[in-house]
């Protein structure tokens, strides 16, 4: 190494110390390094502790801190330009740290001295514990936060506990229609108390006893009042604060059955949420936010809805649609019929995860504030769903969300001012015609105008946004919408008319046929997802020739199975990996690469007179047909013959 290289390496090492924090830097040998042999007393003593003689025991930079939440160590090994094999040397230092300092929480870092490239691991140096999102060297407080709370992001455990909690609330006689908001407000209260009264936010049996003793000091009335105060504080400065507070009090705190809960009931419910839900969710990570959303959505399945055809979107489908539209932290996202807010939460989760990449903790917090205050916009017309969206956004750390109460058709200026770049939505499929503006019903028949449901099957909501996009001259806005299959296959006068108007102004990029009974145990409608690019015509200058082919995906298998009393449940393989995650990757890869695969996808030029679904265009994959497929078809046909009286069972 030349003299210049040595000086450069010293400077870069000093920068590492200044970034993580000089007050945490520990050294016991020359060059400000750390010797684990000296730490142990002798190399022989270290060998005895490890059970083998280590090849490496002099670490470049070691940082430690101790507080009420535990002992922390950040181990940094520097190289001019590290390679994969250098991880083995770093792993040795981690083993030595654990051998000499049992119970320490370790962050291990490989850092280049000739550029700013780093690689970071949490607890162990292996592929499972690599933190790919950690691309910028940060401060000790940031690395400690990676361990905050004993959360493990265990999806399956949280799901099992969620279903068990629902049974507990059933036994406590909490109405199904109020359970989601009740659980949400209780979770907010538990989170508040842990942060206020348990230093460091650790959740263990000691904390459980501490919290039970605290809650045991209150009467049921005082507990409800305390929850109300937490909600008031969280909503301070929020848009429509008084409306939100009124709805939460009406549907939760002042509900007759909630008021009937005894002190013992409250302690049991709050303890269950603390120990079986909250402790497993790290809301500061993107995976933890996903699980938090999954937990909340589970209870939405039991919400009493004003319209039996209104279906709250499953969490994994909101995930698919957010990734389909490639949401980043720079996007502004709108849902004009936001329901419980699941699309908005999913978009916020995606934006926050993306915002973490390539920035320090301070920079991330600045981006996060920007996202929560200026990137998420929603509208909801139904009171109970609006209350749910409020609770949902609060749970995910957004108390000042831009969610408006009222009809989207009355919020044109709100939408225009938002200037969305991505729109995610699941509009009402059978909205009452009287709720739709007259300008969209001019060519409707009398029976359609006076009918019980929207003859466009929800497409009128897309047309409304299309008109705003055209008037405001939005460019390239991505819109993903969940609609009934009837909207895709319908070729009648009304549907063909609205589909043609949409294609004149917008490009139909893709249509995906989704799994049957996707809303189970809610609405039974068969759904599809349509992806549009707004304000870019589907047609060439002649107004009738499609500019390009549309992608059609036959995405009927999402790896979930239907279980009585539980709904559709995510499945995991023998190694604990989500089957859905594998399927999601394939769904996205097929679309992004425009891959045609028999049984999965097709590409086709379409107009308003064509059916918009994969089944009409894709090839059948005959290799997947099995004997039971033939038997099932025969059985179904026989049942039909018996039902129609063509044949008799005798």
Kind of pairing, strands 478-484 and 422-425? parallel
Q: Which of 161, 167, 340, 375 is nearest to 247 (CA)?
A: 340
Spatial distance between the Cα atoms of 384 and 305, rounded to a whole number of angstroms: 8
Q: Which of 280, 254, 252 is nearest to 183 (CA)?
A: 252
Tokens, residue 533: 């690019």
303 pLDDT exceeds 50? Answer: no
Spatial distance between the Cα atoms of 292 and 149, rounded to a whole number of angstroms: 15
Identify the residue with better confidence: 118 or 195: 118
What integer is the mean pLDDT of 266-293? 77
Q: Which residues contact 313 (CB under 8 A, 6 or more apart)?
A: 339, 342, 343, 426, 482
| Concatenated DSSP letters of 379-434 | EE-SHHHHHHHHHHHHHTT-TT-EEEES-GGG-HHHHHHH--SEEEE---SS--GG
Q: What single DSSP character describes residue 578?
A: B
Q: Which of 59, 39, 47 is nearest to 100 (CA)?
A: 39
3-state secondary structure 340-367: CCHHHHHHHHHHHHHHHCCCCHHHHHHH
Confidence at residue 398, expressed as pLDDT on a 0 to 100 scale: 74
Give the distance from CA 346 to its chain's centroid.
Answer: 4
Supply the Cα-derived Rg of the chain in whole angstroms. Answer: 28
Q: Report pLDDT digits (tens) over 587-600.
A: 999 999 999 999 99
How many CB atoms sit inside 10 A of residue 621's CB?
Answer: 12
Q: Report pLDDT digits (tens) over 330-357.
A: 999 999 999 888 899 899 989 988 998 8
How many CB atoms sit inside 10 A of residue 457's CB?
Answer: 23
Q: Report pLDDT digits (tens) over 11-63.
A: 588 999 999 999 999 999 999 999 999 999 999 999 998 888 999 999 999 99
How many CB atoms sit inside 10 A of residue 514's CB?
Answer: 19
Kind of pairing, strands 105-112 and 70-79? parallel
Confidence at residue 626, expressed as pLDDT on a 0 to 100 scale: 72
Q: Which of 510, 483, 513 is nearest to 498 (CA)?
A: 483
Q: Give the chain's count of helices (H) and strands (E).
A: 24, 18
Q: Report pLDDT digits (tens) over 598-627.
A: 999 999 999 999 999 999 998 876 666 677
**Helix H or strand E segment including 263:** helix 263-276
Q: Report pLDDT digits (tens) over 548-568.
A: 999 999 999 999 888 766 678
Contact by Cβ (8 Å): 417, 402: no
Give the distance from CA 644 to its chain's centroid.
Answer: 47
CB-count burial class (<10 Å; 0-12, 13-18, 19+) for 470: middle
4 pLDDT tier (thresholds 50, 70, 90): very low
104 pLDDT tier (thresholds 50, 70, 90): confident
3-state secondary structure 142-197: HHHHCCCCCCCCCHHHHHHHHHHHHHHHHHCCCCHHHHHHHHHHHHHHHHHHHHHH
**What value, to the nearest 5°, has the Cα angle with vertex 215 and ends 214 and 221?**
135
Q: Which of 285, 277, 273, 269 is nearest to 155 (CA)?
A: 277
In angstroms, the Cα distances linking 637 to 630, 631, 632, 650 are: 11, 10, 9, 17
Instruction: Output the CA torsion sign for 412, 413, 419, 420.
Output: negative
Phi and psi torsions of 431, nearest 5°: -60, 145
Spatial distance between the Cα atoms of 506 and 423, rounded to a whole number of angstroms: 14
DSSP helix, strand, coil percent of the chain (3-state; round to 5): 50, 15, 35
> For the whole model, what pTM was predicted?
0.74
Q: What is the mean pLDDT of the chain?
A: 86
502 pLDDT tier (thresholds 50, 70, 90): very high
Of 164-173, 243-252, 571-580, minimum mean pLDDT range: 571-580
ω into 49 cis (within 30 of 0) = no
Spatial distance between the Cα atoms of 639 and 650, rounded to a whole number of angstroms: 13
Confidence at residue 566, expressed as pLDDT on a 0 to 100 scale: 62
In angstroms, the Cα distances linking 26 to 13, 97, 247, 533 are: 13, 13, 54, 56
Confidence at residue 387, expressed as pLDDT on a 0 to 100 scale: 84
What integer is the mean pLDDT of 179-192? 88
Spatial distance between the Cα atoms of 195 and 390, rounded to a whole number of angstroms: 21
Buried residues in 105-126 as b, exposed as e (16+ CB within 10 A): bbbbbbbebeeeebbbbbeebe
**Helix H or strand E segment including 508:** strand 507-513
Q: Which of 464, 429, 352, 358 is nearest to 397 (CA)?
A: 352
Buried residues in 200-239 as b, exposed as e (16+ CB within 10 A): ebbbeeebeeebeeebeeeebeebbeebbebbeebbeebe
**Helix H or strand E segment including 87:** helix 86-100
Spatial distance between the Cα atoms of 123 and 146, rounded to a whole number of angstroms: 10
């Amino acid at each position: 190494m030349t003299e210049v290289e040595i000086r450069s390496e010293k400077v870069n090492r000093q920068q590492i110390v200044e970034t993580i924090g000089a007050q945490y830097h520990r050294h016991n040998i020359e060059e400000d390094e750390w010797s684990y042999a000296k730490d142990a007393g002798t190399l022989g003593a270290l060998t005895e502790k490890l059970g083998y003689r280590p090849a490496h025991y002099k670490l470049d930079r070691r940082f430690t801190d101790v507080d009420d939440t535990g002992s922390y160590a950040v181990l940094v090994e520097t190289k001019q330009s590290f390679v994969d094999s250098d991880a083995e040397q770093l792993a040795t230092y981690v083993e030595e740290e654990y051998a000499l300092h049992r119970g320490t929480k370790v962050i291990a870092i490989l850092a280049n001295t000739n550029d700013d490239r780093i690689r970071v691991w949490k607890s162990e140096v292996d592929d499972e514990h690599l933190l790919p999102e950690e691309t910028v060297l940060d401060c000790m407080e940031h690395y400690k936060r990676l361990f905050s709370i004993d959360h493990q992001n265990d999806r399956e455990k949280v799901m099992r506990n969620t279903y068990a909690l629902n049974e507990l609330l059933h036994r406590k006689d909490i109405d199904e229609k109020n359970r989601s908001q009740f659980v949400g407000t209780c979770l907010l209260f538990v989170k508040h108390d842990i942060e206020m009264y348990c230093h460091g936010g650790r959740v263990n049996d000691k904390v459980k006893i501490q919290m039970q003793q605290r809650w045991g000091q209150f009467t049921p009335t005082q507990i409800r009042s305390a929850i109300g105060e937490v909600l008031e504080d969280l909503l301070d400065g929020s848009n429509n604060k008084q409306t939100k507070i009124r709805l939460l009090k009406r549907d939760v705190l002042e509900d007759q059955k909630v008021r009937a809960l005894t002190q013992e009931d409250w302690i049991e419910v709050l303890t269950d949420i603390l120990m079986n839900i909250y402790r497993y969710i790290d809301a500061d990570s993107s995976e933890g936010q996903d699980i938090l959303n999954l937990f909340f959505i589970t209870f939405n399945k039991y919400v009493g809805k004003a319209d039996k055809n209104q279906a709250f979107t499953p969490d994994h489908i909101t995930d698919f649609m957010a990734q389909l539209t490639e949401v980043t932290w720079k996007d502004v996202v709108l849902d004009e019929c936001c329901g419980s807010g699941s699309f908005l939460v999913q978009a916020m989760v995606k934006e926050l995860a993306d915002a973490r990449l390539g920035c320090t903790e301070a920079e991330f917090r600045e981006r996060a504030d920007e996202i929560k205050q200026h990137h998420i916009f929603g509208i909801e017309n139904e009171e109970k769903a609006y209350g749910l969206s409020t609770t949902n956004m609060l749970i995910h750390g957004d108390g000042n969300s831009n969610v408006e109460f009222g009809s989207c058709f009355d919020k044109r200026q709100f939408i225009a001012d938002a200037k969305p770049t991505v729109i995610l939505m699941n509009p009402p499929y059978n909205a009452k015609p009287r709720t739709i503006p007259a300008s969209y019903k001019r060519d409707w028949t009398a029976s359609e105008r006076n009918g019980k449901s929207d003859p466009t099957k929800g497409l009128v909501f897309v047309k409304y946004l299309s008109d705003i996009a055209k008037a405001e001259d939005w460019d390239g806005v991505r819109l993903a919408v969940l609609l009934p299959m009837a909207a895709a296959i319908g070729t009648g006068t009304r549907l063909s008319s609205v589909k043609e108007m949409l294609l004149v102004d917008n490009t139909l990029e893709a249509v995906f046929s989704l799994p049957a009974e996707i809303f189970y145990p809610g609405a039974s409608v068969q759904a599809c997802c349509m992806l549009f690019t707004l304000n870019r015509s589907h047609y060439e200058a002649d107004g009738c020739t499609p500019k390009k082919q549309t992608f059609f995906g036959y995405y009927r298998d999402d790896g979930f199975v239907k279980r009585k009393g539980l709904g559709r449940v995510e499945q995991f393989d023998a190694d604990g990996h989500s089957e859905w995650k594998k399927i999601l990757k394939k769904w996205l890869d097929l679309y992004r690469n425009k891959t045609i695969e028999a049984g999965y996808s097709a590409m086709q030029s379409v107009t308003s007179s064509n059916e918009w679904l994969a089944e009409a265009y894709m090839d059948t994959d005959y290799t997947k047909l099995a004997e039971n497929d033939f038997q099932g078809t025969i059985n179904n046909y026989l049942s039909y013959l018996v039902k129609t009286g063509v044949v008799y069972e005798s």
